[in-house]
Structure 1
Amino acid sequence: MPLWLNVVSRVILFMIILFFITKFLGKKQLSQLSFFEYVTGITMGGIAAIVILEVRHSIIIGGLAILVMAAIPYIVGLIALKSKKFRDFIEGKPTVFIKDGKIMEDNLKKERYTTDELLELLRKKDVYQVSDVEFAILEATGDFSVMLKKENQPLTAKDVNLSLASIKEPQTVIMDGEVLDEPLSTIGRSRAWLHIELEKLGVTIENVFLGQVNSYGELTVDLFDDKLQVASPQERALILSAMKKCQADLEMFALGTEVKEAKEMFTKNSEKLQEAIDKVFPILKG
């Protein structure tokens, strides 16, 4: 076999081996590397590089070495799941940098971080003043987590006792001009419904780059032609407007009649409809 073909075949073979090993070890290996996993990854890459470039080395021996190196973090991971002490030793423990608004200087020195580096980490979290921070911690994976003081945290709906409708995962039903049947069936919709919604928007499937259905059952689309504008769904706004009109009509009927029973009926139903509007307003306001 020619040398170049030998090298190419080894590259393809070890790429496949490393791909399946990484897939077997799981997504955690990609997102959160511990010290041990970091060393293992470097070693596996080094073994693969040596076997690929040094053609005199046996592919079988190289593949065996990589499989053994892959087995080690897998076994270590199983042990770490059952032992907190072992997990802390292998993966490390998080380090508190700011506690109760105070910088922990000793912990900074322990992790060999300077004050400038701490400020840089805070800026990456959009925090520019240390006094705004209640708690900050350097995770074992190297990520930096920050909790602001209560008065500096963004206002939430819960803080103002506002009830909001829950939001479900949007389903992508059109991609690259092609209809995706599985997401459609997940939300209980059909292709016929999809065609009707597209007709309302004045577009065809072939012109849609991406189409998604939100938790309210509304279809939103992005077209291949970026110059074309598509109107936003108006169903919820129309329903809210119709409910407000009915409520206003009931109030007007109550004011316009001299019959006591009718006035009481219109007033009572107007109040009930207003209560219903108040409940569904967070959903229908869009």
Structure 2
Amino acid sequence: MNIYLLVGIKFILGIMVMILQIHILGKYEFSINTPLNQIQNYVLGGIIGGVIYNTSISIITFLIFILIWSLVVIIVKLLVNIKAVKSLVVGNPVILIKNGKVNVENCAKVGISADQLMLHIRMEGLFSTKEVKSAIMETNGKLTIIDMQSATPKFPIISNGKINRDILEVIGHDEKWLLSSINEQGVENIQDIFLGEYVNGELNLTTYPKII
């Protein structure tokens, strides 16, 4: 087979598999920067880039390689809802400042220096850590800062049926209050809630559709 034709077919197959992954996993998964997404992109890029010009590797072998890798990625994405797997693969938000007090150990853990921390604080229009109610490093590396005057946290209390206990602590409530509040709105289980937001002192819930 002509070398240019072979490279062209492999290239088209690689693009098609990437499109297939986007449709299966969702566009959002490819727009955020997480350790899993970086590994996925590096390996897929290595497979396509390293094999596409190698004429000794047949089209069938190349297709098997990228399909196996796609299957591995999909399985990991399905398992990521398990807390232990999510913590290992995606990571968890890390609190860097709480009620004006800096957690130096957590800052070192995520690799942010004092100068970088203060830069983010100034970008929010604040000038001291004492003005910060909470500063949280998200799993995609973005730093979210909540000032002392904010009555509405920038993180949900409940997401995908799971309680964000750090945010509960930030707003001064506990799990007992949360369970009581959702029961008052006619919801029995946390697992039935897609999104729970705390806005201006009120709990707003978005539940999963009921299967009839």
TM > 0.5: yes
1:36 aligns with 2:31: no
Partner of 2:191: none
- The secondary structure found in structure 1 opposite 2:52 is helix
Alignment of 1:70-149 (within 5 A): 70-81=70-81, 83-149=82-148
Taking a change above 3 Å as real, the CA distance of residues 33 and 73 of structure 1, as seen in their structure-2 partners, is farther
TM-score (ref. length: structure 1): 0.48
Change (3 A) 1:13 1:127: farther
Which fold has the larger relative contact order, with Cα–Cα distance below 8 Å and residues 6 or more apart in sequence?
2
SS at match of 1:150: coil
Question: RMSD value over aligned CA atoms?
Answer: 2.3
TM norm structure 2 = 0.63
- The whole-number CA distance in structure 2 between the counterparts of 1:27 and 1:89 is 22
Output the CA distance in 1 between the equivalents of 2:120 and 2:44: 31
CA distance in 2, matches of 1:30, 1:151: 32
Unaligned runs of 5+ in 2: 153-212
Contact 2:11/2:52 (<8 A) preserved = yes
Are the equivalent residues in 1 in contact too, given 2:6–2:59 (CA < 8 A)? no
Look up the match of 1:262: none
1:25 is displaced (CA, Å) by 1.5
Give the Å deviation of 1:102: 1.3
Q: Residue in 1 aligned with 2:187?
A: none
- In structure 2, the partner of 1:17 is 17
Amino acid across the alignment from 1:49: G
Deviation at 1:20, TM superposition (A): 1.6
Is the CA contact (8 Å cut-off) linking 2:133 and 2:148 kept in structure 1? yes
CA distance in 1, matches of 2:145, 2:33: 20
Determine the C-alpha separation between the residues in 1 that align with 2:136 and 2:47: 35
TM superposition shift of 1:80: 2.4
User: Aligned letter for 2:13?
Assistant: L
Task: Please list every run of 5 or more consecutive structure 1 residues that lacks an aligned counterpart in the other structure.
Answer: 154-286
Whole-angstrom CA distance in 2 between matches of 1:131 and 1:152: 17
Cα deviation for residue 126 of structure 1 reads 4.5
Match of 2:63 in 1: 63
Greater C-alpha radius of gyration: 1
User: Identity of aligned pairs, percent?
Assistant: 26
> Relative to structure 1, is the Cα distance of residues 30 and 123 closer, same or farther in structure 2, using a 3 angstrom cutoff?
farther
Inter-CA distance 6–126: structure 2 relative to 1 (3 Å threshold): farther
Aligned counterparts of 1:152 and 1:115: Cα–Cα separation in 2? 26
Report the structure, 1 or 2, having the larger helix content.
Answer: 1
Matches within 5 A, 1:243-282: none
User: 2 CA distance for matches of 1:34 and 1:139?
Assistant: 10
Q: SS of 1:107's equivalent?
A: helix
- Secondary structure of 2:141's counterpart equals coil
Structure 1 residues 101 and 71: alpha-carbon distance in aligned structure 2, compared to 1, 3 A threshold = same
Alignment size in residue pairs: 152
Offset from partner CA, 1:23-70 (integer Å, 9 cap, x none): 212123223343233212210110011121212212222221111111
Residues 135, 16 of structure 1: alpha-carbon distance in 2 compared, 3 angstrom cutoff: same
Say if 2:10 and 2:62, in contact at 8 Å, map to a contact too. Answer: no
Match of 1:49 in 2: 49
